């Protein structure tokens, strides 16, 4: 594909995404001057580079360049790919593996059944959650499971939720461990999420965090055949032997 330098500059996010599929030849005054190509096999310190099929792959960030929220919206508006946007970096979400999906299915089944007839509603990915550290720092994530207690109140005119879930669940994979354990933990803690579950199919563990005043108030890790318990929803529990088959 060929594109002139002005078009590339004005739509950099779009062409950076396309470069994962094919080389982009950049022209100026009709002359070829550069090529934008994906690095398909290398892995850098900040995760897989664009073009690799890993959930922690960054579209922006590895080269030190931050993306604006507007660039993120432009990149994602006409694509079926799944992306997250955390502290100015865009992450491409790859297709999860079987262990991840089994844990997700089993855990969501537990949540769905327990919340029947109750005020809060459990939802499952893909579903965008917009979290604001402040008016200038807008983030968009897709938790594996989220429990929302103000759904009808916080839906906008386009049927998107604009509130903060009471509880979120992330199921780890090799490609998302660092993001889920560090970046998302801090984001959820800072933006008003009250409880965070991290399910680890690799180690067959579930860690439950309780947040208060932008800090970790309490946490506990459940292992083997133990039963994970919610802090904020009394009676909500999940048997690890059922989640990790």
The closest alpha carbon to 146, from 179, 182, 193, belongs to 193
Is 120 within 8 Å of 128 (Cβ atoms)? no
Spatial strand order of the sheet with 89-93 comes to 89-93, 82-86, 137-141, 129-134
Per the omega criterion (within 30 degrees of 0), is the bond before 234 cis?
Answer: no
Residue with the larger pLDDT of the pair 113 and 9: 113
For residue range 33-78, what is the model confidence (pLDDT) as tens digits? 777 776 543 333 344 333 323 344 555 544 446 889 999 998 888 8
164 pLDDT more than 80: yes
Give the whole-angstrom CA distance, residue 116 versus residue 225: 25
d(CA 19, CA 107): 37
Please write down the long-range contacts of 180-189, taking CB distance under 8 Å and 24 or more positions apart.
183/86, 183/87, 184/86, 184/141, 185/209, 187/86, 187/87, 187/131, 187/133, 187/139, 187/141, 188/131, 189/214, 189/215, 189/216
Q: What is the pLDDT of residue 18?
A: 63
For the chain, give the percent of residues with pLDDT over 70.
Answer: 82
Residue 69 has a CB neighbour count (10 Å cut-off) of: 15
Average pLDDT of the chain is 85
User: Domains, the chain, ranges and CATH?
Assistant: 2-93 (no CATH), 98-243 (3.90.1570.10)
* 71-99 pLDDT tens trace: 999 888 888 889 999 999 999 888 899 99
pLDDT of residue 174: 83
**What pTM, to 2 d.p., does this model score?**
0.76
Instruction: Name the more confident of 79 and 169.
Output: 169
Helical spans, DSSP H, in the chain: 5-10, 12-18, 69-76, 98-114, 177-178, 184-190, 240-243
- Give the pLDDT mean for 109-128: 97
pLDDT class of 209 with cuts at 50, 70, 90: very high
């Amino acid at each position: 594909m060929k594109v002139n330098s002005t078009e590339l500059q004005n739509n950099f996010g779009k062409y950076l995404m396309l470069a994962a599929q094919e080389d982009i030849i950049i022209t100026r005054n009709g002359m070829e001057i550069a090529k934008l190509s994906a690095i398909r096999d290398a892995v850098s310190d900040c995760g897989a580079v664009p073009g690799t099929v890993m959930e922690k792959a960054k579209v922006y960030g590895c080269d030190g360049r931050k993306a604006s929220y507007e660039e993120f919206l432009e990149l994602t508006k006409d694509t079926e790919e799944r992306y997250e946007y955390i502290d100015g970096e865009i992450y491409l979400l790859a297709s999860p593996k079987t262990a991840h999906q089994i844990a997700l299915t089993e855990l969501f089944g537990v949540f769905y059944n327990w919340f029947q007839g109750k005020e809060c509603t459990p939802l499952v990915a893909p579903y965008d959650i917009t979290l604001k550290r402040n008016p200038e720092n807008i983030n968009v994530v897709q938790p594996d499971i989220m429990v929302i207690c103000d759904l009808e109140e916080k839906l906008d005119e386009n049927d998107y939720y604009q509130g903060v879930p009471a509880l979120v669940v992330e199921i780890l994979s090799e490609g998302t461990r660092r993001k889920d354990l560090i970046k998302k933990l801090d984001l959820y803690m800072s933006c008003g999420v009250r409880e965070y579950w991290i399910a680890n199919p690799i180690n067959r563990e579930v860690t439950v965090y309780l947040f208060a005043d932008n800090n970790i108030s309490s946490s506990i890790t459940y292992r083997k055949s133990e039963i994970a318990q919610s802090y904020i929803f009394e009676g909500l529990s999940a048997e690890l032997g059922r989640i990790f088959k």
